[in-house]
Structure 1
Amino acid sequence: MNASARSRRATAACAAALALALSGCGAGAGSGDGAVSLGFVNGGDTEFHTCLQASVKDTADARDAKLYTANSHQNPGTELSNIEDMISRDVDALIVQTVNVDALKGDIAKARSANIPIFLTSVVTDDPSDILGAVVVDLAQVGELDAGFVEKDAAGGQVEVGVIAGAPGAASDLLVNGFTKALPDNAKVVANQPGMFNAAKAQDVAENMIQAHPKLRYAFVANEEMAFGALKAFQAAGADVKIVTVNGTDHGLAAVKDGRFAATVANSAMTTGKIAVTNTISLLDKKKTDKIAMTPISLITADNVSSAPQYCSAGAKKS
């Protein structure tokens, strides 16, 4: 596409942005004719999503890329509407943190029909030929790492384990399946309920869980925000339940360090966002780049908490 065409498209895109009233038309300081335009459709409102978007924005700004953002708030229907809105802006590529992997089929079909490639964060489709690329957190392995902690810590003893999942679909299912399948035979899952990635909901789930299973020894919680809600419930009940969780935020690491959480699996949202934008632009430019990249993960306990990667950019603000 030549510079004048890009200029016309950028003007039209900004006009569409005002009409659609999503997040506005944002340009990097050095952007102008020839700047790449990206759409980012975020899936929810957890700290992960907030930090991911902050990293996407920071990296886009650093690359002089125009960025448009929208949030699907865990609703697959809203996600499809956001995809359609981004298509109307005629962006060069879409970066999508999906609400539910089942929603992706329709999203990809819509974008493909408009000749706009999709780059995925956190998950990848069964057939990656339909997408530009992805940066993937091996969520099954994240669950496996937490299960490995339980196996080692239980040391062969018969223990009861509870699971507080997130929202059904996408990340939560992969995390929970990875965790439960990797547990040893001596660790029995006695409860598995969704906390919907909401701390208050997770607290309610944990209250019910500990009442029904007073011998509960471990709880796997699908993110640290929910883990703090579960912690309140367990503490109020006077229950000594070891919490293993996911993310590696500053608050989560502090809880691991002082023993409130037994372990977490660090997977930096900042790193995921940085890879997403960098690889999207490189793949658009036909540069040699891994189509499917991996976000590094690591099990963090009190013994190695100082080695955890930075989770979120310093300027990011939780919405």
Structure 2
Amino acid sequence: MNRTPRRRPAAAVSLLGAAALMLSGCGSEDDASGAADGAVTLGFVNGAATHFHTCLLKSVEQTAKAEDAKLYSANSKQDAGTELSNIEDMISRNVDALIVQTVNVDALEGDIAKAKSAGIPVFLTSVATDDMSDVLGVAKVDLKKVGALDAGWIAKDAAGKDVKVGIVAGAPGAASDLLVGGFKDALPGTAKVVANQPGMFNPAKAQDVAENMIQAHPDLDYAFVANEEMAFAVRKAFDAAGAKDVKIVSVNGTEDGVAAVKSGALSATVANSAMTIGQTAVNNTIALLNKDKTVDKIANIPLVLVTKDNVDEAPQYCPK
């Protein structure tokens, strides 16, 4: 790697060495564990512990190892305050760059400013900020387009008929708001959203939401669910209520999600591979640190609308 490391104050070096000693032998993401020493040191601040986040972490870890990079990781557990604390911890370790899967886009401004003041560049995963001038780069998932692809499937399937649609969102902020916004904006005028409740990316909560939704709207035609883990719980609730005809569209393209499309439990899902996001984030962070002008600052992650017609074309979601 042809990169001149940033000069580190003696106090910071001392802190980093002490942290490495204290963390030796730890393997937990919550403990901000470190991988093997490498030519560059990265910090990865993950947003939660859903299947997506777990696969994203695995991809980041595997790619960092392949690139001979040292990696510290931490989990913000869907809390913006914890995210800032994790970023402050990574700053104290004097990492060369931070990769952040944010829990809330609104909180990013303060996070980025904190890292910038310490001279540590930030690379984002999944979402981009409106102003990218202070950001190293992003592995971007066009979440509005994800929602729009699901809405497009409903429009085609409904074929001009008046239909009722329910939405089981994720946690307010960041990904969920973009997904739901893109979905609603792309629905045809003949589709009426009759319910929109957050499932908090929690299957148990999503099941409760779905039970109430189908009780209030027994004539529901479609449901958009902000990730597949919740979608499986929503399917269970609808089936238990005798509403097996409600068609569910979702997001992620996990192995189980693709299998559910194949079986008919889900009608469609939009694949945005966590493995690809993680690989892109690490590779592009290192390349951009090295001033590689062949790498774009904004890398758009490929999206695939997965239906029964193309289920075998879904990309690999999670690293082995």
TM range (shorter): over 0.9
Task: Check the 8 A contact 1:17/1:23 in 2, yes or no.
Answer: no
Question: Superposed, which structure 2 residues align to 1:13-28 within 5 Å?
Answer: 13-17=16-20, 19=22, 22-27=31-36
How is 1:167-316 mapped onto 2 (pairs within 5 angstroms)? 167-239=171-243, 240-288=245-293, 289-314=295-320
Instruction: Report the number of matched residues.
Output: 308
Aligned with 1:165 (options 169, 173, 196): 169
Q: What CA distance in whole angstroms lies between the structure 2 residues aligned with 1:300 and 1:115?
A: 42
1:147 is matched with 151
Q: Deviations over 1:106-144 (max 9, x none)?
A: 100100010000000000111100100001000000000
The corresponding residue for 2:88 is 84
User: Structure 1 vs Structure 2: percent identity of aligned residues?
Assistant: 69
- CA drift at 1:16: 1.9
Give the secondary structure class of the aligned counterpart of 1:90.
coil
Question: How far apart are the structure 2 equivalents of 1:248 and 1:159?
Answer: 25
**Contact kept? 1:38, 1:65, Cα under 8 Å:** yes
| Aligned-residue offset at 1:22 | 1.8
Structure 2: gaps of 5 or more residues:
24-29
Shift of the alpha carbon at 1:286?
Answer: 0.3
Q: How big is the shift at 1:170?
A: 0.2
Q: In structure 1, the residue corresponding to 2:32 is in which secondary structure?
A: coil
Deviation of the 1:27 alpha carbon: 1.2
Relative distance call for 1:2 and 1:128 in structure 2 (3 A) is closer
Are the aligned partners of 1:118 and 1:132 in contact in 2 as well (CA < 8 Å)? yes
Greater shift, 150-159 or 18-27, is seen at 18-27
3-state SS of 1:164 partner: strand
RMSD of the alignment, in Å?
1.7
Whole-angstrom distance in 2 between the partners of 1:211 and 1:4: 60
The reply to whether residue 60 of structure 1 matches residue 69 of structure 2 is no
SS in 2 for 1:225: helix
Deviation (angstroms), 1:17: 4.4
Tell me by how many angstroms 1:26 deviates: 1.4
- Counterpart for residue 122 of structure 2: 118
Q: Partners of 2:202 and 2:220 in 1: how far apart? A: 21
Cα distance change of structure 1 residues 234 and 90 upon mapping to structure 2, 3 Å threshold: same
Unaligned 5+ residue runs, structure 1? 315-319
TM-score, length-normalised on structure 2? Answer: 0.93
Seen in structure 2, the aligned counterparts of structure 1 residues 111 and 3 have a Cα distance that, compared at 3 Å, is closer
CA distance in 2, matches of 1:273, 1:10: 28
Residue 311 of structure 2 aligns with an amino acid whose one-letter code is: V
- Letter paired with 1:302: K
Displacement after TM superposition at 1:5 (Å)? 6.5
Deviations 1:144-190 (A, max 9, x none): 00000000000111100000000000000000000001000111000
